[in-house]
Each structure stands twice: as C-alpha cells, then as structure tokens.
Amino acid sequence: MIESIKGFLLVYPENWHDWGPQIYAAMWVTIKLTICSFTLATVMGLLIAVGKMSPIKIVRGFCIGYIEVARGIPTLAILFLLYFGLVPLGIVLDAFVASYIGLGLTAAGYMAEIFRAGIGAIHKGQREAAYAVGMTPYKSFRYIIFPQAIRIIIPPLLNMLIILLKDTSICSLISTDELMLRAKDLAMMSFRPMHLFLLVGVIYFFLAWPLSILTRRVEKKLQKSQRNALA
C-alpha cells in the first residue's frame, strides 16, 4: 500500500520540469479570470439592483427579467452561446473575454439579489428618521443605509468570489487556457489523469480555502452588528 502511494507521489517530481511552469502560468490565468469576472459581476449587479428600484416600468421589468434569466440558465450554456453561438452573427470573441463576460454577466444576477437584500434589510424606520431630521434621500443613503448595508453584503459577496473561482474551471470547456484545461491537456499527453486532476484540485483548494475561512471570520464579526440593523 505504502509502496504504491510512494510510487504515485514520485510521478510529481519526475514531471515537474514539464508540468510546473505550465500549471503555474495557468493558475495565474485562473486568478485573472476570477478577478475580471468578479469586477464585471459587481458593477453589473449594482446597476441591475438600482434599476430594479427604478420608477420606469421598462427598466424595472428588464432588470427583473435579467435576474430570472441569469439565475435560470447554466453558466456553461451562456459560455457556449457567447463563444460559439455569436460566431454566425459575426461576433467572434476570444476565449478569455467570452469567459469573463459569461461568468460576470451570470453572476451579476446573483449579485443584484445580494445588493437588494442588503439594502432591504435595513429597517424602513431608520430611513424615515433620517428624512425627519431633514436629510435628503441621498444623504440618508450615504450616512445611514450604506454603512449598515455594506456589512450585510460583504459575506455573500465574498462567497460569490469563491463560486466564481470554482466556475472558472467551466471555461476550460470553451478552450480558455486556465488551470482545468491545462490539466486535461497534460493528462491526455502524459496518460496520468489522476495525478494532474488531483494536483489541480489541490491548487483550487488552496486558492479557495483561505477565502472560505476569511468569509467565515468576517461573517462572525459582522453578526453582532447585523442583529442591530434588523431591529
């Protein structure tokens, strides 16, 4: 048993000169992809969340529809549409671009709901009290609503970051040269799928796990103040 485990592990140093640099570069692509899509998702999510509160019916309807669609269609389907499906219409997107747009726009649907929930969790009375002392809606948002909403929003936001990190693996299916694709290619070439997928799994784990721990710590710290906001 121990022999076979040793044999298994020895494969790594054997092939490290070949695998190492490629995996390392691919890891950075994964990280870049995560950050790009997270940024896009946050910005889009904010716009959609604000749009959902708009007095203009069309804008509101569009935003509600956007959220339903983004949450109801698999990310893979959206990626395929963006990367393959737009080609006959003359739009040829680079794999990386299609990836972060697809991930970002889909995640924006969830982000919008996170923002809405955060703002909605602030008791209406606090806004009224702000108006009563003479604050404009903008001021009440800036000094009263936003400081409290941000505390509610941060944990789920961090959670979305972790989800996006994991979802970058799906982009391998539209030939984006990130971790998963590298692993698959190397696995096919070297006939050592288990080694490569395990290696890549471990890398994902050590990218995501610290974020998970951070999220939990932040969540605990904010839970105390959360109780007041909902009073």
Are residues 100 and 170 in contact, defined by beta-carbon separation less than 8 angstroms?
no
Instruction: Return d(Cα 13, Cα 5) in angstroms, integer.
Output: 14
- Point out which span in 12-20, 31-39, 95-103, 166-174 binds another protein (CB under 8 A): 166-174
Contacts of residue 98, Cβ cutoff 8 Å, sequence gap at least 6: 79, 82, 83, 174, 176
Cβ 44 to another protein shortest distance, Å:
18
Rounded alpha-carbon distances, angstroms, from residue 79 to 19, 28, 68, 202: 27, 20, 17, 25
Nearer to another protein, 58 or 138 (CB): 138
When binding is defined by CB under 8 A, the residue of 13, 56, 88, 94 that contacts another protein is: 88
Residues 29-58 touching another protein, rule: CB under 8 A, are: none
Q: Which of 16, 24, 28, 209 binds another protein (CB under 8 A)?
A: 209
Smallest gap, in angstroms, from Cβ of residue 74 to another protein?
A: 4
The DSSP symbol for 143 reads: I
User: Is residue 214 close enough to count as binding another protein by CB under 8 A?
Assistant: no
Instruction: Please choose, from the candidates 187, 171, 222, the residue with its C-alpha nearest in 3D space to the C-alpha of residue 30.
Output: 171
Cα distance between residue 75 and residue 72, in whole Å: 9
* Residue of 41, 170, 177, 182 interacting with another protein (CB under 8 A): 170
Closest CB 52 distance from another protein, rounded Å: 16
Q: Which of 148, 155, 176, 177 binds another protein (CB under 8 A)?
A: 148
